[in-house]
A and B are shown apart, each in its own frame.
Chain A
Amino acid sequence: MKKGIVILLILSVVLSGCWNRRELNELAITMAIGIDKLEDEYLVSAQVVVPAEVSASGGKGGSPVTLVQGRGETVYEAIRKMTKGSPRKIYPGHLRILILGESLAKEGIGNPLDLISRDWEFRSDFYVVIAKDSTAEELLNIQTPLESIPANKMFNTLKTSEENWAATVGVTLDQLIINLRSDGKEAVLTGLVATGQIEKGSSKQNVETVTPAANIQFDDLAAFKDDKLVGWLTEDESRAYSDIMNLVKSTVGTISCPEEGKANLEVLRFKSDVKGNVKNGIPEVDIGIQIEANVGAIECPIDITIPESLEALEKIYEKEVEKTIKDSITSVQEKYEADIFGFGNAIHRSNPKEWKTMKKEWNEYFIDLVVNTKVDVKIIKTGTVSNSVVEKRKD
């Protein structure tokens, strides 16, 4: 009996034989996937790494990535059809970025996202972006300097930009899905644009010049209503979005000096708090923002050694932030009628009972929603010098 079990165990090891084993050189490591809609078909483009070309020992001078494409009525079909032109099966476990074509986004992103969120091989921590004014295929065709794998360039650019310039927002798949499913918040996605001569971007020469002929750049946010793209925010609106969503890690604010010229404040700490409130059946939202800033640059005659002038700068910045936020909210309310700021969720949190009745007509409520903004700025440092260097020279 015991012997039988042992033999059975050994056989199970020997005979089962690595049933879904895949060696590393059987994988098409896909770093970026682009989905476009061509009439009734999906065109899926996968940016696949050519390992030999990016290895430390140096390649033969070929392209570090290659584009594998497939067409099909559904995304899944298109991905499987890719094997017709690729010796290796697409492996999306290390996907960095998913690019959706603008035309597809206007029609709705819900259907193509289903496979990507359902399949176990996809992780949900990659960024989802929209190809602005172009197709995903075009963007995936551009070679990039510094990062030889374009998908890595996009991923890292978005990450760095998000951390240092508040107007860019990286949205990962899981966040996107949460937003799509939420009643109280509409989704936003970052736009990705190709600049320069796009048709030259595919060749190696693109990375051989100091200024690449074609480049990829992140742009402002795209606002969604349900799963359809309804319009693009401006830079100020994008900024206001990250302010309200408390996504700012560090950024630079440009303000006008009391008299003339400009000054920059570097935001060191940022905290925003959105609180919902329902008064007499009318929802209201209070936004409280606390900023700690550093004097980044001064291009105007002001004596910042005097506390009063710092206070004056604080006041000006407070007003500017408040204005940006108010204007942005108004513009979104008017233009898109989509609650991308998640005010609905704020009401849901504060007044769950009232939310139940408002939920269905929330869009109507949102258009007329009153938002009170309160900004509190504190300048805590002035950098390594006190007054402007130019100021000293004048004395």
Chain B
Amino acid sequence: MGLFSKKKNDPLKSTTPPRSHTEESNEIKKLQTKLQDNIKIVKGTLGGSSDTIIREIRIGKGGVLKAGIIYTDGLSDAPSIQNFILESLMLDIKNTEVESKLTLNPQLMNTLKDFAMTVGEVKDVTNFDELLNALLSGDVIFLIDGYSNGLIIGNKHWVDRGVTESSTQTVIRGPREAFSENLRVNTALIRRKIKDPKLWMESRVIGIRTKTNIEIMYIKGIASDEIVGEVRIRLDRINIDGILESGNIEELIQDANNSSFPTVYNTERPDVVAAALLEGRIAILIDGTPFVLIVPALFVQFFQSAEDYYQRADLTSLIRILRFFSFTIALLAPAVFIAATTFHHEMIPTALLISLAAQREGVPFPAFVEALIMEITFEILREAGIRMPKAVGSAMSIVGAFVIGSAAVEAGIVSAAMVIVVSMTAIASFVTPTYDMGMTIRILRFVFMGLAASFGLFGITVGLIALVLHLCSLRSFGVPYMSPIAPFNADGQQDTFVRFPLWKMRTRPHLISQENIDRQQNSASAKPEPEKGQ
């Protein structure tokens, strides 16, 4: 009943299918013919929000046509609205052949689109959903009185942070740039590194209210189609009102919700994403956050840093072993210390035992409680250090040094050896290149401390067995989490605990990329040709 269109089956009504399945349930509201009606509906839907700018103009010969321009202040580029839309409509086409064509006729919109719009991206719009979507994304809406369709003129422009240096994953050698909050900038940063036409992107809009743009990025032919399909399925299954950060997506698509181990990798470094894409992994870019998700993510991946591949292979291998060693320390050092000092005194060398016993004289708490006090104090300090304003940082580090330091020992609350163990654990936990894995270690450390306090080394062993079983049961998008250690893969060892020289790493990770496995054809090119005649 509400259709006022003069002509049925308007040829201009090029209906585009709804982009997101979440909108399908809503009734699609068509644009009205009268400009004033349309403006009224837009105003009404937005509740008269002050950032919606509505400009009514007259165009055509003698101003016969009433038109309206609607945009959102702050999301659209105001100077270019003036230069490329208003000026071209109101001034440039004056006294030209085009102007004479601007009368009420069915081809009016196409004429305008073809002759008058001096901007790159112009689309037709016929319903309010699309119109509002474009309007709130920063595009300019152009409507003409008497027509039940309009134009969406691409003019998104807002202030963003720009490409800055990575702050979460720093390297000494390697590119400094990091992703920003702008999705398009981020895709461009990756495109700039991989100029392969096979680098494909798929768009999704997730979030009923936030309508966050998301890109699935992979290299066709390297990435496994099955895993890409799985990513699509999982993303399409999301039905939530808002996605604000990659963490939201991660939580909704990850494999093991009950595990504290991350099964989705995130990074803010374009070079890491590019490397992952070349290995056959899939990147998920989310508008509004500099963190890009990479799947499938394996356990060993969290111990690899971008710099590993820019430095000499031998040094990298040693450093990587050091990281796994630090992981063990961060996980087990307080637990082993508790176990040894409360159950297995005979394991400690005599001189050390006496020294430790001397330090413990007068300490009122059992070793476990002592360790717990120190570890929790440290966690509090660490959390405070992240959350508090930078200006009070120095004040806190001074106080922190007192709490975990000689003052605590002198006060007789903890023993000096425990301070050393806790400090070493803290430093070791920062060696892990990814923050996510560091968090996991933080939690598990307390579990192991509890086991050590109850059962000694026996408890630690049982805990480790459970941990290994758990890790082996995990999967990330169908790929076993512990691969290439379990299931063991000889080729995969080239980039696990050690990194082989680049000229020896001839294949991509097997389980991730099954299709195009060879990275380089022959490795002989790595060395200079032997002299002839030898």
Contact = CB atoms under 8 A, between A and B. Distances in A.
A13 B358 contact: no
Interface in B334-384: 341-343, 345-346, 350, 353-363, 366-368
**Lowest 6 A-B CB distances belong to which pairs?**
A55-B358, A51-B358, A93-B346, A51-B357, A24-B357, A25-B360
B346 A29 contact: no
Interface stretch (A14-22, A72-80, A250-258, A314-322): A14-22
A302 B350 CA distance: 50
B360 A23 contact: yes
B455 interface: yes
A320 B136 CA distance: 108
A21 B358 contact: no
Contacts of B355: 51, 55-56
Nearest to B364: A25
Contacts, number: 77
B453 interface: yes
A27 interface: yes
Interface string A24-54: 1101010100000000000000000101101
A123 interface: yes
Interface in A58-96: 91, 93-94, 96
B270 interface: no
Contacts of A24: 341-342, 345, 353, 356-357, 360, 367
Contacts of A57: 358
17 contacts: A14-B454, A16-B454, A16-B455, A18-B342, A24-B345, A24-B360, A25-B357, A25-B363, A29-B353, A51-B354, A51-B361, A54-B358, A55-B354, A55-B355, A93-B345, A94-B345, A94-B346
A123 B451 CA distance: 26
A18 B338 CA distance: 11
Contacts of A23: 341-342, 360, 366-367
A49 B360 CA distance: 14
B131 to A, nearest CB: 52
Nearest to A91: B345
Contacts of B345: 22, 24, 27, 91, 93-94
Contact of B358 (A14, A22, A52, A149): A52
B361 A52 contact: yes
Interface residues of B, number: 26
Interface residues of A, number: 29
A93 B355 CA distance: 16
A121 B346 CA distance: 8
Q: Is the interface of A mostly helix, strand, loop or mixed?
A: mixed
Most buried by A among B342, B356, B368: B342
A144 to B, nearest CB: 16
Given A27-B357, A55-B358, A21 B366 contact: yes
Contact of B359 (A22, A55, A93, A152): A55
A57 B357 CA distance: 13
Nearest to A17: B454
A57 B92 CA distance: 90
Given A23-B342, A24-B360, 13 more contacts: A13-B451, A18-B342, A18-B368, A20-B343, A21-B453, A22-B342, A29-B353, A54-B358, A55-B354, A56-B355, A94-B350, A94-B353, A96-B350
Contact of A18 (B346, B354, B454): B454
B280 interface: no
Interface in A76-126: 91, 93-94, 96, 121, 123
A195 B497 CA distance: 60
A29 B357 contact: yes
A23 B361 CA distance: 10
B450 interface: yes
A93 B346 CA distance: 5
B446 to A, nearest CB: 12
A24 to B, nearest CB: 4
Contacts of B459: 13
Contact of B343 (A21, A56, A121): A21
A29 B360 CA distance: 13
A17 B454 CA distance: 6
B450 A13 contact: yes
Contacts of A31: 350
Given A25-B361, A123-B346, A49 B354 contact: yes
Interface in B177-196: none
Contacts of A123: 346
Nearest to B365: A23
Contacts of B357: 24-25, 27, 29, 49, 51
B347 to A, nearest CB: 9
